[in-house]
Structure 1
């Protein structure tokens, strides 16, 4: 008997918001082959696992408006978006509004697949350089309002320890908490940033700190 093809997203519903009909059809075929039930309109029951929308055209304000409207219409839904300009000015407003997956407009199928898997798992997916800038701004408190809420005060203190390459035990001693508490916060940071492990998280913050130092030189 011929084995069934692997369909990693079987029984998942995705709302595809792509204005270009040719691109929409190509994406629909790809997503269907991956196992998704692809919708082009919000279902009456509101049961959508993830929304994939195209923010590739229009201004930042237009993108912000579209995401805010989706947040109102589909509260709690996970969002991933295609963007043409993978830059802080374009990406940060989306992240602040809760978009969990930032995918370059010309991304290949493997990158789209990985981004959707990451978003569905509750993690963040965005190109590494922008992620470094995003974390750098939050850690330095360069953004206010929703950005301050991205990481808790305890998580930010742990982040500073990671930037200094401290071990979990050293961070715990500095903060006056148990090592288990530090491990708990590191786990949450891994999920929020999409880093693979603690070493990857530390390396990300080393890159971020290096960039900040160069900018301040």
Structure 2
């Protein structure tokens, strides 16, 4: 694959998009990602001719389902498009394919598997969830000790990790889980220690790479 690929990652959860971008850039030689958090942001980059691929969240500000997808395909037919969604079962793959989308990827897949799916699209193929099961594209965790650490996470720590991937603050996580903010700080600290990371971005990046978000 040639270098210099320009990839737009459009998702309104910054930690998730940054972690995906980091995974793509580390896996695809020469790839450069730019993260945006609205459909308008993605449109601006596309209109400027600054994309060889669009990775787009199905549920984000400005998105209106298939109508938005059809509009994008009509305006930018030469730019391959991969749709990311946390609600993959509620999206009709036939309708997505009919709109000209080249990839439909569950957010719960590991970062390596997402990057593999993107590679399929960049090489002219089509990627859908059923293909992932048939091809076994969910790759094993990295051999750097993180798999052992992930095995020791509690259910609560996995819940906190999911909340971190959505970009929630400690206060918002506490409200969602019905806990005190100081308790969330304790869980986050323990989570970082078990994963061997220093901050939220590193934690979410590792979670995506190793498929930890699939555990809940």
Q: TM-score, normalised by structure 2?
A: 0.49
Which has more radius of gyration?
1
Q: TM-score, normalised by structure 1?
A: 0.49
Bigger relative contact order, structure 1 or 2 (CA pairs below 8 A, ≥6 apart): 2
